[in-house]
Structure 1
């Protein structure tokens, strides 16, 4: 009797998850809830912490929890996720240590020009020091963003 083993195709999972997405890196010394409050107030979003999406990474005997805030644009079928990249000296994406927050925009409504406009608006948000468009191909730890 043979046992069927299922293997998760991580490459396909990553490709599917990041299809029709943009990633924006934000440097800010603000706490995550303060930054979300500013984004909601100044850019008219409605980010809320979503505890069910919180990402747990374990290194040795220690666990690190990275909060995720989300906002759904139902009329545009676009999902926005704001990840905290830092937790007690550890990083969700260690290759982006200078980035405090990662904003993932998922859906096929927005085009490159829309994201460029959003980045320009983000530069004027209080508490935001730096904003940059990230290339998903440059991210080594993509699996850490998948919930």
Structure 2
């Protein structure tokens, strides 16, 4: 009897996961819950922590936990995820050490003009020091963002 081995195509998984996705980098010296509170208040979002999709990375015989806040827009099929990029001395995306938080927008509703408007609004949020649109193709460790 032969055994069928299935191999996961990571490249296809990454491509599918990031299809219709925008990623923002946010610099702030404040805690994730404080930044989310200000974003919720100023942008009228409803980010809430979702412990069931928390990302855990194992490095150097230790586990690092990266909480994710989640918000789904009620009027369309867009989901927003707010990641902590830093846990103790480790980074979810080590190539972006200057970015403390990541905001992922998933769904095909947002156009470039909508993302630019969101960037402009985020720059006005207290505790947010810098916001930039990230090119997902240039991120080396994007597998770390898949939950």
TM-score of the pair, normalised by structure 1: 0.99
Matched residues, number:
147
Write the deviation string for residues 80-125 of structure 1: whole angstroms up to 9, x where unpaired.
0000000001000000000000000000111000000100011110
Aligned-pair Cα RMSD in Å: 0.5
Q: Is the counterpart of residue 4 in structure 1 residue 4 in structure 2? A: yes
Q: Flag structure 1 segments of 5+ consecutive residues without an equivalent.
A: none
Q: Give 1:61 shift.
A: 1.2
| Structure 1: 4+ residue segments shifted above 3 A | none
Q: Unmatched 5+ residue regions in structure 2?
A: none
Tell me the CA shift for residue 74 of structure 1: 2.8
Question: 1:127 deviation in Å?
Answer: 0.2
Q: Name the structure 2 match of 1:89.
A: 89
Query: Matched residues in 2 for 1:20 and 1:74: separation?
Result: 18
TM-score (norm 2): 0.99
1:101 aligned partner: 101
Who is 2:64 aligned against? Answer: 64
Aligned to 1:41, the other structure's residue is in SS state helix
Answer yes or no: is 1:36 the counterpart of 2:36: yes
Structure 1 CA distance for aligned equivalents of residues 127 and 103 of structure 2? 15
Between the aligned partners of 2:121 and 2:56, the Cα distance in structure 1 is 31
Quote the offset at 1:75 in angstroms.
1.2
Task: Report what 2:55 is aligned to.
Answer: 55
Aligned to 1:143: 143
- Cα distance between partner residues in 1 of 2:71 and 2:32: 14
SS where residue 140 of structure 1 aligns? coil
- Quick one: distance in 2 between partners of 1:100 and 1:58? 19
Distance 1:89 1:117 in 2: 33
| Aligned counterparts of 2:142 and 2:74: Cα–Cα separation in 1 | 26
